[in-house]
Structure 1
């Protein structure tokens, strides 16, 4: 009878230990925007626009009613059987070397501000009349790493992308991703900033990194469950083995007495 009781206690103890060390993921850990109320309206007043950085590659197309006068500004390069516009690299001083105009400082400007700068230069130099300027950032991309389904480097076709969109492109967070402490690393001309945001809180929409800029790095760290699975399996096995040894020894001692 005593042996049966001890065996039962051993089983219950080991079962309890396994429950303690196997981390459980709760609704509180995984649900986004938990404090958003039903029918709550949030007006988006964010006018964020990405600014041009050192190392950005931009394409610039200039158009007027007279296409002949714009040819010097739309330099082309042969690409196989076709031709494409030459791209311009923003150098370490924040400038591009542009035809006729020479050095043009673009760093720190939004795309719209850069367009207005070109229009002003064309007007002041009496070079073009009512030009239409199209500027695109060719190397706008963001990196999403960590506990997401498809980590990687993703190109952005528009002028801005939100962190929610970027995470969606990466397949969203895995069940093991920590949602309340996502890190965004931003580099602007050699200065790095580190900002953390909480996706479980609706205030994420007010974060300065809600909209990402080119070459932002987003890292989703593992939650406690993932950490426990990675580093705790051997520890749990050791604890269970030691406990089993102690109880088995106690069982043998009792049966002998």
Structure 2
């Protein structure tokens, strides 16, 4: 019996080593690897307003009555799935930046905001309002800033954000981080630049991500997390793997009987 079992033990070891070798390396899972040095250079990014940005612009001052012409309300219901007239809960009107980078603002007319930062745009409108309002204050919010995260993350989907300055790490955090099957060294960011699509890959396991031009995300960016080898392999050979595991269990049982 011992002679018969002598060839079974090596076979079992080969099967087990094959299963172990398919495991994901820890180096493929750890983020920001490299020397423990302080990065002196980061990618500098200042978001600017672009065509198709939808803005909420609020004007305030000590004399509230003087701001009424500039704080027009939308005739649509903010709580309605299909925006209906005769609103019971009115909201501030939104302003869409057109292809020329302009909006049509009450009283002031056409204002070119495209290419300006949010702070610059607020100063620009504030200076225009001084002719009509004493010491005006202006706030601008982008209401349709959104990003999409797909692939191997816990909660894929499209996210609408209140802040136009968000990093790829914060976006991944919103999606609940990568799953164990996410390919951390090959994250794809798809970006629209003037009607042209750009494709950039980043490596979450490297500190070089902080220098990437897509470290800060832009409006309508798409992040795709590729499945790693373990996921694609399990998808293709899940049935085969289950057979091997069952076979290994049978072999262990046989060896335990033969070596008693």
**Class of the TM-score when normalised by the shorter of the 2 chains:** 0.7 to 0.9
Residues 50-71 of structure 1 show CA distances to partners (whole Å, capped at 9, x for unaligned) of 2222221110011233322222
Residues 62-88 of structure 1 show CA distances to partners (whole Å, capped at 9, x for unaligned) of 123332222211101354433321011
Hey, what does 2:247 align to over in structure 1?
Answer: none
Relative to structure 1, the CA distance from residue 237 to residue 158 in structure 2 (aligned partners, 3 Å threshold; closer, same or farther) is closer
Tell whether the 8 Å contact from 2:43 to 2:213 is kept in structure 1 after alignment: no
Q: Does 1:115 align with 2:122?
A: yes
Looking at structure 1, the residues matched to 209 and 137 of structure 2 have their Cα atoms a distance apart, in angstroms, of 37
Alignment of 1:129-208 (within 5 A): 129-208=134-213
Looking at structure 1, the residues matched to 228 and 30 of structure 2 have their Cα atoms a distance apart, in angstroms, of 14
- Which region of structure 1 is more displaced relative to structure 2, 176-185 or 95-104? 95-104
Tell whether the 8 Å contact from 1:50 to 1:214 is kept in structure 2 after alignment: no
Looking at structure 2, the residues matched to 65 and 235 of structure 1 have their Cα atoms a distance apart, in angstroms, of 74
Looking at structure 2, the residues matched to 200 and 111 of structure 1 have their Cα atoms a distance apart, in angstroms, of 33
Hey, what does 1:63 align to over in structure 2?
Answer: 60
Instruction: Output the TM-score relative to the length of structure 2.
Output: 0.78
Looking at structure 1, the residues matched to 147 and 184 of structure 2 have their Cα atoms a distance apart, in angstroms, of 19
Which of 75, 78, 91 does residue 84 from structure 1 map onto? 91
Deviation, structure 1 residue 179:
0.6
Relative to structure 1, the CA distance from residue 199 to residue 13 in structure 2 (aligned partners, 3 Å threshold; closer, same or farther) is same
Unaligned runs of 5+ in 1: 241-257
Instruction: Output the TM-score relative to the length of structure 1.
Output: 0.78
Residues 27-54 of structure 1 show CA distances to partners (whole Å, capped at 9, x for unaligned) of 11000011141xx434576552322222
Hey, what does 1:243 align to over in structure 2?
Answer: none
Hey, what does 1:95 align to over in structure 2?
Answer: 102
Secondary structure, counterpart of 1:192 in structure 2: strand
Cα RMSD for the two superposed structures: 2.8
Hey, what does 1:4 align to over in structure 2?
Answer: 4
Looking at structure 1, the residues matched to 109 and 35 of structure 2 have their Cα atoms a distance apart, in angstroms, of 52
Tell whether the 8 Å contact from 2:42 to 2:210 is kept in structure 1 after alignment: no
Deviation, structure 1 residue 234:
5.7
Deviation, structure 1 residue 231:
1.9
Hey, what does 2:80 align to over in structure 1?
Answer: none
Tell whether the 8 Å contact from 1:179 to 1:198 is kept in structure 2 after alignment: yes
Residues 202-249 of structure 1 show CA distances to partners (whole Å, capped at 9, x for unaligned) of 1111111111122211111011111111123467789x8xxxxxxxxx
Looking at structure 2, the residues matched to 121 and 36 of structure 1 have their Cα atoms a distance apart, in angstroms, of 51
Deviation, structure 1 residue 24:
1.5
